[in-house]
Chains A and B, each alone.
Chain A
Amino acid sequence: MTVWLALDLLLAAGSLALAFGVVRARRVFTAIALFIAHGLLLTLAWVRLDAVDVALTEGAIGAGLSGVLLLAARHRLARVGAGRVAEAPGRAVTIAIGLGCAAVTAALGYAVLALPDPAPSLAAEVAASLAATELGNPVTGVLMVFRGLDTLLEAAVLVLAVIGVWSLAPDRAWRGAPGAPWTVVEDGPLALLARLLPPVGIVVAVHILWVGADAPGGKFQAGAILAAMGLLAWLAGLARVPPTASRPMRATVAAGPALFIAVGLAGLMFQGAFLAYPEGLVKPVILLVEFVLTASVAAALALLVLGPPSADARP
């Protein structure tokens, strides 16, 4: 039993304990707090799985932004009252569902153990073709070059989600500022953090974006950090969000995906295939797209956490 295996088992045990805690928590706040802790444990698990890019994203988005979103929602619901809630199923049904889920876990665990050995992998193909992309980070290579369409569509999904969230605003709040009102505290730890952290956060985000070409990092992680800094400033009352009607803000959200699609169409016209990059210019084009996409992703993530304009938002 090596140290590393012991560490893995410890992480797994911790994660299981937290997961059980989440499902059995009596209060929603407890569940959310345990969920955030679980997310942070998972970040370590990802490092153990040698997936550092994923670890960064899980920490920033999976634990960080999701945690903010859920805590704010829980706070809102506690204020207005959660209203009618469907009844929890009876004891017999719960046990039946529990047995069913246990069966799913067992089948899935068996399937994981039964996966072929040696495991099929595309690592060799990626290694062989990575030189053509001028990138050092293979994950970025897959994201931006080999499977660039999936990344492009994901950016479009973010834009669509913003539109969907905004469409959930009540009619009379339409064109107002996104987000429900928040009692601003002028002094205190939050205000201090909101003054100290954003400059540091911006530098970190730019570094992660820049270094993502050759080392773990990239636009989603950088965008999440920027979004978090923006949200921090908003929470402390130091920044105001433009209203949903603001054309520059909408353009920021749309610019990244639109540029990515334009690059793709240019590839179609000049190279004969969608998202084929011009030879010799692969890395500069990718960096340009990533740069603009970071701004769009940051704006979209922040807007998604803020939510639709609220009926009782301050003007």
Chain B
Amino acid sequence: MSGTVFGLLGAALVGIGLFGMLVRAQPLMRIVCFNLLGSGVFLVFGAVARRGAGAGFAADPVPQAIILTGLVVAFAATTLAVALVLRLADDEDEAPR
């Protein structure tokens, strides 16, 4: 049951995050909504892992490892995006040369 509930939550988060990414104009808001979208994707994976319980494990370890890797990669992507946004703002700030 947990798997289904959180799998559906993941689907909802994907829709919400996608909406935010497409509709909000500020770059930082887009990045936050991208993270929401990412968390939805990971929850779907987590639901798949939970459904794959067996052989003495409460959840299939392979999708869990994939989620872990995905979380770190998504964080790295967020830092790159934030660095770009800050660079753009700095350029705005500078007096024209």
Q: Tell me, yes or no, whether A and B come into direct contact in the complex with CB atoms closer than 8 A.
A: yes
Q: Say yes or no: A108-B46 contact (C-beta < 8 A), given A12-B6, A161-B76, A164-B80.
A: no
Number of chain B interface residues as a range: 35 or more
> Which of B19, B24, B57, B78 is A66 in contact with, Cβ under 8 Å?
B78
The reply to whether A35 and B93 contact each other, CB–CB distance below 8 Å, is no
* Majority secondary structure, B binding face: helix
Within 8 A of B (CB), among A118-158: 119-124, 126-128, 138-139, 141-143, 146-147, 150-151, 154, 157-158
> Which of B14, B26, B44, B76 is A304 in contact with, Cβ under 8 Å?
B76
Within 8 A of A (CB), among B44-94: 44, 46-62, 64-69, 71-80, 82-90, 92-93
Distance of A115 Cα from B5 Cα, bound (Å): 14
Q: Say yes or no: A8-B33 contact (C-beta < 8 A), given A49-B49, A112-B44.
A: no
The reply to whether A80 and B93 contact each other, CB–CB distance below 8 Å, is yes
The reply to whether A311 and B55 contact each other, CB–CB distance below 8 Å, is no
Distance of A124 Cα from B53 Cα, bound (Å): 9
Does A70 have its Cβ within 8 Å of any Cβ on chain B?
Answer: yes
**Across-interface contacts of B8 in A (CB, < 8 A):** 12, 109, 112-113
Distance of A218 Cα from B64 Cα, bound (Å): 13
Does A19 have its Cβ within 8 Å of any Cβ on chain B?
Answer: yes
Closest to A143 in B: B65
Q: Say yes or no: A65-B90 contact (C-beta < 8 A), given A5-B5, A38-B36, A127-B57.
A: no
Distance of A138 Cα from B57 Cα, bound (Å): 8
Does A81 have its Cβ within 8 Å of any Cβ on chain B?
Answer: yes
Closest Cβ of chain A to B45, distance in Å, is 9
Does A279 have its Cβ within 8 Å of any Cβ on chain B?
Answer: no
Q: Give me 8 other A-B pairs in contact (C-beta within 8 A), A23-B19, A108-B44, A161-B79 excluded.
A: A16-B13, A50-B2, A80-B93, A101-B19, A115-B48, A122-B60, A146-B62, A305-B79
| Chain B contacts to A: CB under 8 angstroms | 1-20, 22-29, 31-33, 35-36, 39, 42-44, 46-62, 64-69, 71-80, 82-90, 92-93
24 contacts between A and B (CB under 8 A): A16-B13, A22-B16, A23-B20, A23-B36, A31-B29, A48-B6, A49-B2, A53-B64, A57-B68, A70-B78, A70-B82, A77-B86, A77-B89, A82-B89, A98-B23, A104-B18, A105-B12, A112-B47, A121-B52, A122-B52, A126-B55, A147-B65, A157-B73, A161-B80
